[in-house]
Amino acid sequence: MSETAPGTVDRGDLKSTSYEFFMLGMAVLSIANLPLLVIYAYESQSWYLVWFIESALTLVFVIDFVYRLSTARSKVGYFIGQKGYLDLLSCLPALRIFRLFRIVRAVRITRQLGGPRVFRELRQELANRRV
């Protein structure tokens, strides 16, 4: 990534560090939620709870996809170059397994920005919000 000013990195179409970590958490929760739909008896109270959580997560991913697409500098660049089509596929209930790509992307972003630097940014963002 190219330097834009001393000590900063051109983040391209990345959102804030805290937003990226929030979406990483949602992707991990979604992946952990997948086997629960099979483990619990169909239409049991537990199954409905897991289904409700999965539906809410799907809505979060749809909103995230629309947000990223609408704020991207280049719509085609996001959809093709940054693999936004995988984000779209991960929104589809039948293709929830594609949410693994969100986790891979978050790990890649963390590496690109430098692991310790990302955590410093996150700490700084959270500290600034408490003011």
Q: Using one digit for the tens of pLDDT, what is the confidence trace for 69-97? A: 999 889 998 889 888 888 888 887 777 77
* 33-47, 52-66, 115-129: range with lowest mean pLDDT: 115-129
- When pLDDT is cut at 50, 70 and 90, the band that residue 52 belongs to is very high
Q: What is the pLDDT of residue 8?
A: 43
Mean pLDDT score, 30-43: 87
| Model pTM score | 0.71
Distance separating the N- and C-terminal Cα atoms of the chain:
31
User: With 70 as the cut, is the pLDDT of residue 12 above it?
Assistant: no
pLDDT of residue 6 exceeding 90: no
Query: Does 7 score more than 60 pLDDT?
Result: no
49: pLDDT strictly greater than 90: yes
